[in-house]
Chain A
Amino acid sequence: DSGVTQTPKHLITATGQRVTLRCSPRSGDLSVYWYQQSLDQGLQFLIQYYNGEERAKGNILERFSAQQFPDLHSELNLSSLELGDSALYFCASSVVPAGNTGELFFGEGSRLTVL
Chain B
Amino acid sequence: GENVEQHPSTLSVQEGDSAVIKCTYSDSASNYFPWYKQELGKRPQLIIDIRSNVGEKKDQRIAVTLNKTAKHFSLHITETQPEDSAVYFCAAHNQGGKLIFGQGTELSVKP
A residues neighboring B (CB under 8 Å):
2, 33, 35, 41-45, 48, 50, 55-56, 58, 90, 98-99, 101, 103-104, 106-109
Contact = CB atoms under 8 A, between A and B. Distances in A.
A103 B49 contact: yes
- In terms of DSSP, what is the predominant structure of the interface of chain B? strand
B48 to A, nearest CB: 11
B25 interface: no
Nearest to A107: B43
A109 B96 CA distance: 25
A35 B38 CA distance: 14
A90 B44 contact: yes
A15 B44 CA distance: 29
B46 A104 contact: yes
Contact of A45 (B32, B36, B98): B98
